[in-house]
Amino acid sequence: MADQQKTIFVTGAGSGIGRATAKLFAERGYFVGLFDVNPQGLEETAAMLPDGQRISMTFDVRDRAGWKRAVETFGQATNRRMHVLFNNAGVGKGGFIDEMTDDDIDLVLDVNLKGVINGVNAALPLLRETPGARIVNTASVAGIFGAPRMSIYCATKFGVRGLTDALDVELSRYGIRVTSLMPWFIDTAILDGTPTDGSNRRIRDALVENKTPIYPVSMAAERAWDAAHGNEVHYMVGKAAERARFFARFFPGAMRNQVKKQFGNE
């Protein structure tokens, strides 16, 4: 890679927002590290990027030893530079809390929240060595308001939002900025998942039925670029996300009623 080339480490790069963001940053000159638990998805993403402008490696963000190996591999390829850590890997399992299995609850907590914390700790040595480094954590509008059948998911995204706020202050002593990406519903494979209540009905089906906006993944990638370069802390994706932030702050009662109406609680 070129001496002056910037670098980004992307988790969840095998699909969705991670894949779209990796492609966008590569198109804009970044050297990209692609990381995902899914080897097939990772291989497909890698094929979309130019040779010599990316490396890829399979690992699970729940695995601290895996994080260490991935960061070491990335550092060897980039002369120990990491301009952006994109903590993006996540899972979207949901359902009423008393109908979720312990394994599903642990999976969501361990990937969506603990995986982000693991990434910060593992990448911090490289980030500290890189002037102007930044961490971008994928949160969600689910980190602004709670919704039925999403309690554990919301808990993780509220956690990522709070972690981002705290770390942006805490890591400023190293010159590192920390921001979050907060999408509304994005057109990814997560929407094709089903709840844990035994229904075959997809999340996407309920959204379409309720005329809930679904935004293209390219929009999320563009906002990830903004989060990696802008001055704000939290970056909403989509007008619906902006409205949700406004109403959650200034009209929480109205927001709660809208959530009940739109997402149902029965």
Give the residue numbers marked as catalytic: 153
Distance separating alpha carbons of residues 98 and 159, to the nearest angstrom: 21
Strands 31-36 and 54-58: parallel
List phi, psi (to 5°) of 102. -60, -40
Distance separating alpha carbons of residues 159 and 87, to the nearest angstrom: 13
Give the three-class secondary structure for 107. helix
Residue spans of alpha helices (H) in 55-212: 64-77, 102-109, 115-129, 151-170, 203-209
The residue type of 47 is: A
Beta-bridge mates of residue 225? none
Which two three-digit tokens encode residue 142?
């689910």
21: left (phi over 0), alpha (psi -120 to 50) or beta: alpha
